[in-house]
Amino acid sequence: MALFIFPMSPTAPAWSADKKETRQREAQRRTQQAIKQAQAKTAELEQANTELGNKLKEQEQRVSEAQQNLDGFSRKNKRLAEDYAKEQGKAADLEARLKEAESNLRQTRTELAEVSTLQLETQRQFKTMASEKTALDATLATCSGKNEQLYQFGRELINHVERPEGFTSILRAEPFTQIKRVELENIFQDYRDNLDQNRMKPLSVRSANP
């Protein structure tokens, strides 16, 4: 047994060195592997960071666009509110005008009814006046005829008295009446003037010369 151990003793340090080198290589391999993993992880993180940065930029762009859209919507909403207020004002004005027009229409209808009633009353009065005028014309015609007859009778009477024979008979009575010829002529002229003044004009003449 001693013979076996003795010859092997000179190779023990070499075996230990190989084992140590193996451990070092293994450690180096593990270190390199860890470095590669770390580098890969770093690259992965950098890529993720880049992607996150890009996504953040996209998100910021979207937020900016959304803000712009929101501002646009706010301005549009403000304009719509102003337009709505204007339309409400116009609607209120139109409603007021409509009420005024309806009131004017009712008043016009009332006035038209009054005018129609007045027109009917005027027509009735016109018919009454026409009937009265017809009756008055008939009365005037009768009176005019009688007046003309009286006028003719008066003139005939005066003419009869003024005849020589009639006038002479009156002059014969002068001593009793003490009436002179000139006075008699004046009396006859006064009667003649009175007849002329009270003579009615014919209806046709009065219509032509009112």
Domain membership of residue 162 (yes or no) is yes
Indicate the number of domains in the chain.
1
Domain membership of residue 103 (yes or no) is no
pTM: 0.36
Helix (H) or strand (E) holding 210: none
Domain membership of residue 49 (yes or no) is no
The CA distance from 152 to 199, in Å, is: 10
Domain membership of residue 31 (yes or no) is no
Domain membership of residue 118 (yes or no) is no
Contact 203, 144 (CB under 8 A): yes
Predicted local confidence at residue 4, as pLDDT: 41
Predicted local confidence at residue 196, as pLDDT: 76
Other beta carbons within 10 Å of 20: 10
Contact 136, 170 (CB under 8 A): no
Domain membership of residue 139 as a residue range? 134-208
Helix (H, G, I), strand (E, B) or coil at 163: coil
Predicted local confidence at residue 151, as pLDDT: 77
Predicted local confidence at residue 43, as pLDDT: 86
- Residue found under tokens 């070499």: 14
User: How is the chain split among helix, strand and coil, in percent rounded to 5?
Assistant: 95, 0, 5
DSSP 86-125: HHHHHHHHHHHHHHHHHHHHHHHHHHHHHHHHHHHHHHHH
Predicted local confidence at residue 106, as pLDDT: 92
Contact 198, 153 (CB under 8 A): no
Give CA 88 to chain center in angstroms.
Answer: 16
Residues of the chain with pLDDT under 70: 1-17, 160-182, 184, 200-210
pLDDT tens-digit readout, 43-95: 888 888 888 888 888 888 888 888 888 888 888 888 889 998 988 888 999 99
